Structure 1
Amino acid sequence: MTFQWTAVALFLYGEVGVILIFCIPFISPSRWKKIFRYQLWSKISSYWNKAFLSIIVILIVLFLDAVREVRKYSVNSEVDKSAKLYASTYDHLHMKLFRAQRNLYISGFSLFLWLVLRRVTNLIVQLATETESCDALKAQVEKNNEAAKKYMEDNEHLKKVLDSSKANDKEQKLKRENETLQHEIEKGKEELRRMAESLSKSQAEVLALKKQSEGLTREYDRLITEHELLQNTILEQDSKKEQ
């Protein structure tokens, strides 16, 4: 294996390792978000998009080169087999075909996992943000509930004072205060309703993000299984051809 394909293979192993680390269940999205906010990542983030696009271009070039090599040696293998050349020459071409196919799989899966890794990272950050928003909304709703209870208690107290009061001026003043408090209570109830709707919407978005993340994990497992099946099929074909 040449240096470039060795580097691509190591890059593929690194991608698999990072995705497995992201799948660790006891590390929450909020903790991942805190890790992404470290000073080191903030320095790298300015170059992240350029590096991401550069790696995609390199992987696409290597993938196309591997496709070209596979097509090249597939045609040469069929021609040499039909021409009945020496067995060593045929085995040499067959070995080159196998290497080209191996390079094709390595570059293809590296490109795919690079895109998956970018998507998983974005989903983790979005999930952590939505979780923080839900916590903030819950705290605000609890605060509004306490304020509403306080307004209700004040309202009851004012009603009692209003019943026991005999002076018209004081009675009118208390009525105005009562109306003001009722208006504030209605406003607080309306705000509570809006907060509850926002909380329900955020929870639905969080559930959707969780389902999407689980779908990506299942898709990754399926692709790994298909990759292993393809490798086993190629090995079986190679062993049959050698026999």
Structure 2
Amino acid sequence: MTIYYSLTFMLLAAEMVTFCLLVAPLPYAIKKRLFTFLTESKVVAKVAYGLKISFIFVAILFADALQRMFRVTAESDLAKSNKGMVTDLRTDTSIAARKFYAQRNVYLTGFCLFLSLVLTRTFYIILDLIHTQEEYAKLKKAGTSGAGGAKSEDQTKEIASLKKQIAELKQQERDFDILKKQAAQNSAEYDRLATELNTLTGSNKSNKRVD
């Protein structure tokens, strides 16, 4: 395996490890810190930029490997069609080896490119999920505080209603006291008038007796 295909294999292995880390069932706090670091770190941004350039070269290798595979496959089909002719075993072995290497290179570069797309999409899906969970937590907290505010508002209304009832009861009590005082005054005035009436009536009777 040549050096660039060896590097492609190492890149594919790194992508597989990264994918396993992304889909691993990590706690929410750790996953949030990890993705925050990956999105905000300048070093990670530079590494991502370098990986984009490397994937361009991998795409070129994929196109070259695909072209070689088609050419070797055509040579293999041509060799099979000439079975009636005397063929060399070493030639057949060489064609089979070239076909195997061409297919291996196509699969290697193709899976590397495909996994890069899967990683990118998975990364942004998980990032959107984290943002959605944050928004949900904020809305839930706001809903809880809103419910508390509504509860306090209800309590305020109830307190105001109770104060109003207390004021009405105090006003009724004052009115009752006024009526009680008026009744007492009326009773005293009635007693005074009755006493005067009795006095006058008694004096009239005594005058009649004298006459």
What TM-score does the superposition give when structure 1 sets the normalisation length? 0.62
Q: For the structure 1 residues 15 and 130, does the alpha-carbon distance in structure 2 shift closer, same or farther, using more than 3 Å as the test? A: same
Aligned mates of 1:109, 1:42 — CA distance in 2: 28
Q: Paired residue for 2:147?
A: 145
Which of 99, 102, 105 aligns to 2:104? It is: 102
Bigger relative CO (Cα 8 Å, ≥ 6 apart): 2
Give identity over the alignment, percent. Answer: 24
Residue by residue, what CA displacement relative to the aligned partner does 1:23-75 show, whole Å, maximum 9, x if unpaired? Answer: 222x0455223123339961125436633532332221111111111011111
Show CA shifts across 1:132-166 (max 9, x none).
Answer: 11111111111111111111111011112223336
1:113-136 per-position Cα deviation (integer Å, ceiling 9, x unaligned): 001001111111111111111111
Contiguous gaps of at least 5 residues in structure 2:
169-211
| Secondary structure of the corresponding residue to residue 37 of structure 1 | helix
Q: Distance in 2 between matches of 1:103 and 1:28?
A: 38
The equivalent residue for 1:163 is 165
Structure 1 39/106 Cα, relative in aligned 2: closer, same or farther at 3 Å?
closer
What letter is aligned with 1:116? V
Letter in 2 for 1:37: T
Count of residues paired in the alignment: 165
- Kindly report the root-mean-square deviation, in angstroms, between the aligned alpha carbons of the 2 structures: 2.1
How many Å apart are 1:105 and its aligned residue?
Answer: 0.5
Whichever of the two has the greater Rg, that structure is 2
Structure 1 segments (4+ residues) deviating >4 Å: none
| Equivalence for 2:14 | 14
Match for residue 71 of structure 1?
70
- Alpha-carbon separation, structure 2, partners of 1:49 and 1:11: 13
Give the unaligned 5+ runs of structure 1. Answer: 167-243
Segment of structure 1 superposing worse, 53-62 or 139-148 = 53-62
Name the amino acid aligned to 2:126.
I
Separation of aligned partners in 2, 1:43 and 1:84: 64
Residue 14 (structure 1) shift: 1.5
* CA contact 2:76–2:95 (8 Å) conserved in 1: yes
* Structure 2 equivalent of residue 118 of structure 1: 120
